[in-house]
Amino acid sequence: MKLHGYFRSSAAYRVRIALNLKGLSVEHLSHHLRKGEQCAPAYLAINPQGLVPALEGNAGEVLTQSLAIIEWLDETHPEPPLLPKDPLQRAKVRAFAQAIACDIHPVQNLKVLTRLRELGLPNEQVTAWAAWANREGLSACETLIAGERGPFCYGDKASLADLCLVPQLANARRFGVDVNAFPRLLKAEAAATAMKAFADAAPDKQPDAE
């Protein structure tokens, strides 16, 4: 399989963690987002959204959207599971993941920040926007798992929730958010990043890191 990604894309980072947890090795194809390579016609033919990640399967099939890719990996390579078995617990893990993947990440991604600059906002306001999206969203995430036993977001195993949390916390720091306000999230992050699957997926470990 081939993973179309970029070292700093937090959505691609989620999929890298999932692949590592499943013990799957893939060919990594980098598309330099800041240079706009994700909008090249050849890539748009793979993913019309012009976003990474996209996963090309062995039969040439293309999967897009990080959470859909991860659920597919979980359905086709069930061990270790990335979602609990109980429907209510699955819903909680998915909701936490979506609180990040829907309500934080797209509001502070490169496309939106570029648009804000085009509208004339100065750089410090654009960074403040990204910090706001991260702070607001992570604050809600902190409350969502405040009563959950750890050390991971949900219980004693890494799940889809942790796959979304770790890359988002990296983004939050990059935008200057004081993540010490989120002790329960940091506890989950510490448990996750102690695992080789998470550590190896970090942006600075990727061949295209700058």
d(CA 130, CA 104): 9
Least distance from C-beta 41 to its own copies, angstroms? 12
The reply to whether 56 sits near its own copies by the rule CB under 8 A is: no
In angstroms, the first-to-last Cα distance of the chain is 24
With left for phi above 0 and alpha for psi between -120 and 50, is residue 65 left, alpha or beta? Answer: left
By three-state DSSP, how is residue 22 classified? Answer: helix
Using CB under 8 A, which of 21, 33, 51, 166 touches its own copies? 51
Q: How far is CA 26 from the centre of its chain?
A: 18
Using CB under 8 A, which of 27, 42, 79, 119 touches its own copies? 119
Closer of 81 and 199 to its own copies (Cβ): 81
Single out the segment in contact with its own copies by CB under 8 A; choices: 18-26, 139-147, 161-169, 189-197.
139-147
Q: 105-110: long-range contacts at Cβ-Cβ below 8 A with a sequence spacing of 24 or more?
A: 105/10, 105/11, 105/168, 105/171, 107/133, 107/137, 108/133, 108/134, 108/171, 108/175, 110/33, 110/34
Instruction: Report in angstroms the alpha-carbon separations of 36 from 9, 42, 43, 94, 117.
Output: 13, 12, 11, 31, 16
The reply to whether 42 sits near its own copies by the rule CB under 8 A is: no
Chain residues 99-118 in contact with its own copies, contact rule CB under 8 A: 99, 101-103, 105-107, 112, 115
The reply to whether 75 sits near its own copies by the rule CB under 8 A is: yes
Single out the segment in contact with its own copies by CB under 8 A; choices: 25-33, 58-66, 164-172, 189-197.
58-66
- What is the CB neighbour count within 10 angstroms for residue 42? 8
The reply to whether 127 sits near its own copies by the rule CB under 8 A is: no
Using CB under 8 A, which of 39, 40, 140, 181 touches its own copies? 140
Size of the site for its own copies (CB under 8 A): 43
Which residues are near its own copies by CB under 8 A?
Answer: 48-51, 57, 61, 63-65, 67-69, 71-72, 75-76, 87-88, 90-92, 94-95, 98-99, 101-103, 105-107, 112, 115, 119, 121, 125, 129, 132, 137, 139-140, 143-144
